[in-house]
Structure 1
Amino acid sequence: MFTKEELMEIVAKRVENCTACPLYLTRTNVVVGEGNLDTRIVFVGEGPGEEEDKTGRPFVGRAGMLLTELLQETGFRREDVYICNVVKCRPPNNRTPTSEERLACKHFLLAQLEIINPDVIVALGATALSFFIEGKNVSITKVRGTPIDWLGGIKVVPTFHPSYLLRNRSKELRKTVLEDFKKAKSFIKEV
């Protein structure tokens, strides 16, 4: 029987060796994810940016600093949650990952979520949301904050990506995302 850490290491090795889409050609590092494997909540973003590609860690640039602030304001410590992305390699110029790239990485994210088995997932932005609604074209603005049932009981709470908050600075928008984080927190089952 493998531990969660051993299973996640197997996933990480497979990501490191992946050549399923062209993103592997331009990556510096893969960005698998990090955090507490026993957490009840997972935050899923779109894909690594420039800082993440350099360090091999998710959400360490400006959007990551904002995410850490939002987590703290919601009563989480970054090390107590798990943070990852839909794709594990940086798309050139931080463009949105293509559907082919997302499909090539899909099994990695599914494996991570199966290992962690959270009560709730926060989908950060439209790309992350599309992963959980099987490509249906839905506006994040229209569905943010509305929980979605996924895979028999896991709640997915869509909200805006921290980079969107950086581009559209407003106290109201930040308050909206904090409300979404609090709603997600309310779905954590007491152990």
Structure 2
Amino acid sequence: MDHYIDIRLLPDPEFPAAMLMGALFGKLHRSLVELQAADLGVSFPEHRHGPKRSLGQRLRLHGSAAALDRLMTAGWLKGMRDHVSVSDMAEVPIKARHRVVRRKQFKTNAERLRRRRAQRHNETLEQAREHIPDSVERKVDLPFATLRSYSTGQTFSLFIEHGEIQDEPVAGSFNSYGLSQEATVPWF
């Protein structure tokens, strides 16, 4: 993880930034799957959580120069070029710190959980309601990207958590979204 590329969303009067970031992130995911890349990570340097949560307008790709070059020559940005500005590949600053950027999943909809339980346990919705109270629902303040599953076609929210900043990097692999539960990316 000694190099990076920044991809910045350009202002667009027709599409909100969150929609463009979802499209960009979806294209990245598809390319990481096709390349079977486990050596590329992502971060969102302008992310915010809380009531005004957002991934921001910049997606940063992290990896070796060879891994980033392989991704960028794959043509994955086709169709997005009018909506983004792509920086040149650069070396990570020497004094960069590190953090884990991971997917976080939540039980956010009690009714959906009840339907799922009823189906799996051959119960009625009333029986499932007895087992799953409304209190299981959580209000989430993490930023997210709205993506479409390529396997099921369903739309879902991918919540993204930026972990604590660390002094030392942690090696590991990244999933097909460029996220990891343990590996860090440079943070600067």
Greater Cα radius of gyration, structure 1 or 2 = 2
Give the number of the structure whose residues are more often helix, by fraction: 1
- TM-score between the two structures when normalised by the length of structure 1: 0.24
Between 1 and 2, higher relative CO (CA 8 Å, sep ≥ 6) is seen in: 2
- TM-score between the two structures when normalised by the length of structure 2: 0.24
Give the number of the structure whose residues are more often strand, by fraction: 2
